[in-house]
Amino acid sequence: MMKTVIRLKDDAVMVFDDRGEQMTAYQGQYDQVREKVLEEASLGAVFVNWFGNNAIPQTVSREEW
């Protein structure tokens, strides 16, 4: 189950499960994995954008992600 979904400034997407393991089936470029991630993410999944040089990523809504 997806726990954390991160979009980086270069539009790469990283996805982690509730054990902190990467879920490579959902990772890739934003435009290529966006729909699949949004369709299959649980309601409790946390979506974040990690743009720029921020030390801490910004939590966003599923719709904003």
Which run of H or E residues covers position 42?
none
| β-bridge pairing 46-50 and 2-8 | parallel
The tens digit of pLDDT for each residue in 6-52 reads: 999 999 999 999 999 999 999 999 999 999 999 999 999 999 999 98
On whether the CB atoms of residues 49 and 57 are closer than 8 A, the answer is yes
Q: What is the pTM of this model?
A: 0.91
Phi, psi of 35 (to 5 degrees): -60, -45
In terms of Cα–Cα distance, which of 51, 54, 46, 53 is closest to 62?
46
Sign of CA dihedral 20, 26, 28, 32: negative
